[in-house]
C-alpha cells in the first residue's frame, strides 16, 4: 500500500446525502483506507467514489493529511457559525470516508492531533466512527473531550463471524472490536455498536447479548438502503452478496435486517435502524 504525506485545504466538510440528517460536518484525517483490502473494504461504499479514489484501487493508498489539526483550527469558527445558523448544532462525523484510527495513526497521530485541537475548540457534538480497536489508544483524549462537548463512539461490528467464504479477513478482529467497545463504555463514553452493513450472524442471540454488554445502543443497517443506492445495486456489483448467501441464504435481502432487529430488541432497549440509528437519541 502506498502511503503519501499530504496536506488538506479544508478538513471540515459540510455534509450532504447519507450524513445530512446526522451531523453538520464530516472530518476525514486521511484519504484512502488501509482496511480497504480487508473484509469491510469489500462492501465499503467509498470504493465507488471516484473523487476519493481518483482511479486508484481501494485499499492501495493512504494520504496522510498532516495539517488536519491546523486546518480544523483555521476553519472552525466560521463553520461553527454556519452550522448554528443553518443547522441545529455544530456536529462532526469523524470519519465518513476513511478509518480515523488506521495502523498508521500510531506513527502520524493525525487524528490524535485533531482531537487535541477539539479540546480547545470543541464542536457541540462529535461522532467517532471506527472499524478499529485502535480507538482505545485515544480513550484519554476522548474522555477529556466528552467533558467539553457531547461525544459518541460508534464501533462497527457487522457480524460475529471471523470470515466469509472467499473474502479477505477483518482488518481488526471481532474480538478486539468488542473489547474496544467495552473499554469505551466502561470509560463513561456513550458507545454505539453499528452492525453496518449487516452481515450473516452465526448466533444472533449470543451476538446481541454481547452487544448489550459492550455498548449502550446498537444500530443495524443493511447494504440495501445503506450503500447510497435505494436497492443496494452498488454492493450487488461486489463479491459480498454472494458470500453472504453462501453462509446464510436470504441474508442479502432486506428482510434479514428485520429478523435481526427482532433479536436485537430482545437484548437492548435502544435499537436503531438505518441512517437515523447512527445517533443515540437521548
Contacting positions for ligand SF4 (CB under 6 A): 33, 35-36, 40-41, 44, 46, 98-99, 131
CB of 278 to ligand SF4, least distance (A): 13
| Residue 37 C-beta: closest distance to ligand SF4, Å | 8
Q: How is residue 264 written as a grid cell?
A: 436485537
Nearer to ligand SF4, 26 or 98 (CB): 98
Shortest distance (Å) from residue 242 CB to ligand SF4: 19
83 vs 154, which CB is nearer to ligand SF4?
Answer: 154
Whose Cβ is closer to ligand SF4: residue 46's or residue 268's? 46
The residue behind cell 497521530 is: 109
Q: Which is nearer to ligand SF4, 33 or 149 (CB)?
A: 33
Sequence-ordered alpha helix ranges (H) in the chain: 39-42, 50-53, 68-86, 105-108, 110-120, 139-148, 174-186, 204-214, 223-226, 233-236, 240-247, 255-267
- Give the DSSP H or E segment for 273: strand 271-273
Cα distance between residue 25 and residue 242, in whole Å: 35
d(CA 48, CA 40): 14
Question: What do you get for the CA distance between the two ends of the chain, in Å?
Answer: 41
Question: Could you give the CA distance from residue 124 to residue 84 in angstroms, rounded to a whole number?
Answer: 10
* Residue 40 beta carbon to ligand SF4: minimum distance, rounded to whole angstroms: 3
CB of 208 to ligand SF4, least distance (A): 21
Question: Whose Cβ is closer to ligand SF4: residue 105's or residue 122's?
Answer: 105
DSSP code of residue 217: E
Q: How far is the CB of 237 from ligand SF4 (least distance, A)?
A: 16
Q: State in angstroms the smallest separation of the CB of 43 from ligand SF4.
A: 8
CA contacts within 13 A on the Cβ side of 39:
27
User: Given the complex with ligand SF4, which of 33 and 275 has the nearer CB atom?
Assistant: 33
83 versus 164: smaller Cβ distance to ligand SF4: 164
Cβ atoms 159, 174 nearer than 8 A: yes
Q: Is 69 strand, coil or helix?
A: helix
Which neighbouring-strand residues pair with 65?
A: 6
Amino acid at each position: 500500500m502506498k502511503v503519501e504525506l499530504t496536506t488538506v485545504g479544508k478538513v471540515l466538510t459540510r455534509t450532504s446525502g447519507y450524513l445530512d440528517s446526522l451531523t453538520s460536518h464530516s472530518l476525514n484525517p486521511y484519504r484512502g483506507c488501509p482496511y480497504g483490502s480487508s473484509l469491510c473494504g469489500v462492501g465499503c461504499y467509498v470504493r465507488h467514489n471516484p473523487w476519493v479514489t481518483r482511479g486508484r484501487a481501494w485499499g492501495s493508498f493512504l494520504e496522510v493529511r498532516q495539517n488536519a489539526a491546523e486546518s480544523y483550527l483555521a476553519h472552525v469558527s466560521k463553520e461553527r457559525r454556519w452550522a448554528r445558523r443553518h443547522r441545529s448544532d455544530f456536529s462532526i462525523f469523524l470519519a465518513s470516508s476513511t478509518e480515523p484510527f488506521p495502523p498508521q495513526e500510531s506513527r502520524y497521530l493525525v487524528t490524535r492531533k485533531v482531537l487535541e485541537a477539539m479540546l480547545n475548540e470543541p464542536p457541540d457534538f462529535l461522532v467517532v466512527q471506527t472499524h478499529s480497536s485502535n480507538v482505545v489508544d485515544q480513550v484519554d483524549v476522548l474522555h477529556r473531550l466528552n467533558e467539553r462537548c457531547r461525544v459518541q463512539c460508534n464501533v462497527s461490528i457487522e457480524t460475529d463471524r471471523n470470515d466469509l467464504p472467499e473474502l479477505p479477513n477483518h482488518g481488526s478482529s471481532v474480538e478486539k472490536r468488542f473489547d474496544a467497545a467495552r473499554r469505551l463504555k466502561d470509560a463513561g463514553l456513550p458507545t454505539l455498536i453499528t452492525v453496518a452493513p449487516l452481515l450473516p450472524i452465526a448466533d444472533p442471540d449470543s451476538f446481541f447479548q454481547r452487544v448489550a454488554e459492550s455498548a449502550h445502543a446498537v444500530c443495524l443497517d443493511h447494504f440495501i438502503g445503506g450503500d447510497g443506492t435505494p436497492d443496494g445495486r452498488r454492493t450487488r456489483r461486489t463479491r459480498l452478496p454472494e458470500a453472504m448467501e453462501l453462509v446464510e441464504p436470504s441474508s442479502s435481502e432486506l428482510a434479514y435486517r428485520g429478523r435481526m432487529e427482532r433479536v436485537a430488541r430482545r437484548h437492548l432497549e435502544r435499537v436503531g435502524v438505518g441512517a437515523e440509528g447512527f445517533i443515540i437519541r437521548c
